[in-house]
């Protein structure tokens, strides 16, 4: 473990992985914020103590809440593969500059994707950030498979 902590590529990976995981985790409180400010709750217990009429108004979906939820789901679909493939990639011994390029592009894409999704920026901004992020994961996976298959 001490050797890994001295490896610059591994340290860069842990830094960028922590950033995107933290961003993904913060989507939960952002969803809660949108639920509270938009008065849109999903569960009966979230509106306990309210009259039946108030419950009907509060137990509903809201487009803004659903947008943040979809953004969070998209993070789950992309950040988890990045962390798994990125870890394997870091262990293949890539050049630091190449690894940093992969990690930084993915992290930037995920942050921009969230801004584009929540702020409702016009397409293709969100779509391009998603595609570029996926290409980074594919590129790292290719390196991992190439390293393993050449052994």
Residue 59 DSSP SS3: strand
pLDDT > 90 in the chain, percent: 79
Helix or strand holding residue 28 (H, E): helix 8-38
The encoded tokens of residue 35 equal: 């639920």
E strands along the chain, which residues?
Answer: none
pLDDT tens, position by position, 70-92: 999 999 999 999 999 999 999 99
Structure-token pair, residue 91? 């262990």
Residue carrying structure tokens 């969070």: 72
Confidence of residue 54 (pLDDT cuts 50, 70, 90): confident
137: domain CATH number? 1.20.120.550
Residues 141, 87 contacting (CB under 8 angstroms): no
Q: Which of helix, strand or coil describes residue 1?
A: coil
- The structural domain count of the chain equals 1
Mean pLDDT of 36-56: 85
Whole-model pTM: value is: 0.91
Question: What is the helix, strand, coil percentage profile of the chain, to 5?
Answer: 80, 0, 15
Q: How far apart are CA 69 and CA 72, in angstroms?
A: 5
**3-21 residues labelled b (16+ CB within 10 A) or e (exposed):** eeeeeebbebbbebbebbe
Q: 102 falls in which pLDDT band (50, 70, 90)?
A: very high
124, 115 in Cβ contact below 8 A? no
pLDDT level of residue 144 (50, 70, 90 thresholds): very high
Task: Quote the domain boundaries for residue 90.
Answer: 2-149
pLDDT, position 57: 81
In a 3-state reduction of DSSP, which class is residue 143? helix
The Cα–Cα gap between 19 and 106 comes to 11
């Amino acid at each position: 473990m001490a050797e890994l902590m001295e490896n610059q590529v591994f340290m860069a990976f842990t830094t960028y992985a922590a950033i995107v995981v933290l961003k993904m985790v913060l989507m939960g409180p952002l969803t809660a914020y949108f639920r509270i400010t938009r008065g849109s709750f999903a569960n009966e217990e979230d509106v306990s103590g309210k009259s039946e009429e108030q419950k009907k108004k509060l137990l509903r979906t809201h487009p803004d809440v659903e947008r943040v939820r979809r953004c969070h789901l998209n993070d789950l679909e992309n950040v988890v593969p990045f962390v798994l493939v990125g870890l394997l990639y870091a262990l293949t011994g890539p050049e630091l500059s190449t690894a940093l390029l992969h990690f930084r592009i993915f992290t930037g894409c995920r942050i921009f994707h969230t801004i584009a999704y929540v702020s409702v920026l016009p397409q293709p901004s969100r779509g391009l950030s998603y595609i570029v992020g996926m290409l980074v994961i594919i590129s790292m996976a290719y390196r991992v498979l190439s390293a393993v298959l050449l052994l």
